[in-house]
Amino acid sequence: MTTLPVPLRGEVALRGLHKSFALEGRSIPILTNFDLTIRGGESLAIVGASGAGKTTLLRILAGLETADTGDILIDGEPAGGLGSACAVIFQEPRLLPWLTVLRNVAFGLEARGTAPATARERAGRYLRLVGLAGFEEAYPRQLSGGMAQRVGIARALTTQPEILLLDEPFGALDAMTKLAMQEELVRIWREENVTMVTVTHDLEEAVFLADRVLVLSRNRTQAPRLIDVSLPRPRERTSSAFVALRQELMAEFGLH
């Protein structure tokens, strides 16, 4: 398959977002007059130096933090955050150690008030999707890092979000596992027809996952750059077009 999935759902627009943090009495601006449109069904990666505001942006989208000013519009309608339309996948799996894998996956739905029986039935389906059938009754401490992160992904998918927000999802995994998980994520994204926003500091990961890459600069007078990644899928990490795009991204950070 080389065609992109048809975007089923609407777009998310950020308009004139401002966010600053107070540090030792001073106000540190993180985002100033920030605009972005996330297209339905796309995979967007956000890269940038640390302190450039990538994680803050993701947390505002998730509703875990609020912008000082500015609007979030879903299909043109103002919204405080994405709410139940989104699910967050954190760098750490953040599983509840006292729940079995199946019950961890069901937790996201149950937290929203879905009946446990229904939640667990759906959880079982998504556990199979991430390749962890047979691990339903295992406890988190018995899982490897990659397996635990799969459980976290299944938990997010079980809530059937329109947008998956991923905050350096594979940053804590070893190199081999990371590559496998990236391929897995692209497969899931295509199968589930979900919009995906991934914050990462790994430029190769950004090129592999994304349709578009947003480059945030720590210099806030410089407008964020959006780079189109029009490579066919499945993507070859060693193809010349892939390497060229990665180099273009590195040049954004003054690296060669």
Quick one: 177 or 217, whose CB is closer to other proteins?
Answer: 177
Site string for other proteins, 221-240 (x = CB under 8 A): --------------------
Q: How many residues bind other proteins (CB under 8 A)?
A: 39
Q: How far apart are CA 148 and CA 142, in angstroms?
A: 9
Site string for other proteins, 75-104 (x = CB under 8 A): --------xx--xx-x-x-x-xxxx-----
| Positions in 40-69 near other proteins (CB under 8 A) | 62-64
Quick one: 42 or 167, whose CB is closer to other proteins?
Answer: 167
Q: CB of residue 165 vs other proteins: minimum separation in angstroms? A: 9
Q: State the SS3 of 76-134.
A: CEEECCCHHHEEEECCCCCCCCCCCHHHHHHHHHHHCCCCHHHHHHHHHHHHHHCCCCC
| Amino acid in the structure at residue 7 | P
Cβ contacts of 91-97, under 8 Å, gap ≥ 24: 91/167, 91/168, 91/169, 91/171, 91/172, 92/172, 93/140, 93/145, 93/148, 93/149, 93/151, 93/152, 94/152, 95/140, 95/148, 95/151, 95/152, 95/155, 96/140, 97/139, 97/140, 97/141
Quick one: 85 or 213, whose CB is closer to other proteins?
Answer: 85
Matching residue, tokens 């090129």: 207
SS3 label, residue 13:
strand
| Positions in 173-202 near other proteins (CB under 8 A) | 176-177, 179-180, 183-184, 187
Q: CB of residue 248 vs other proteins: minimum separation in angstroms? A: 27
CB–CB of 106/127 below 8 Å? Answer: no
CB–CB of 1/232 below 8 Å? Answer: no
Window of 67-75, 109-117, 204-212, 234-242 that interacts with other proteins by CB under 8 A? 109-117
Q: CB of residue 107 vs other proteins: minimum separation in angstroms? A: 7
Quick one: 138 or 241, whose CB is closer to other proteins?
Answer: 138
Q: CB of residue 70 vs other proteins: minimum separation in angstroms? A: 21
**According to CB under 8 A, which one of 29, 112, 218, 237 is a site residue for other proteins?**
112
**According to CB under 8 A, which one of 31, 55, 72, 107 is a site residue for other proteins?**
107
| Positions in 117-156 near other proteins (CB under 8 A) | 131, 134-135, 137-142, 144, 146-147
SS3 label, residue 25:
coil
Beta-sheet pairing, 12-23 with 26-38: antiparallel
Q: CB of residue 180 vs other proteins: minimum separation in angstroms? A: 4
Closest CA to 57 of 39, 76, 42, 38: 38
**Residue ranges in contact with other proteins by CB under 8 A:** 62-64, 83-84, 87-88, 90, 92, 94, 96-99, 107-108, 110-112, 131, 134-135, 137-142, 144, 146-147, 159, 176-177, 179-180, 183-184, 187
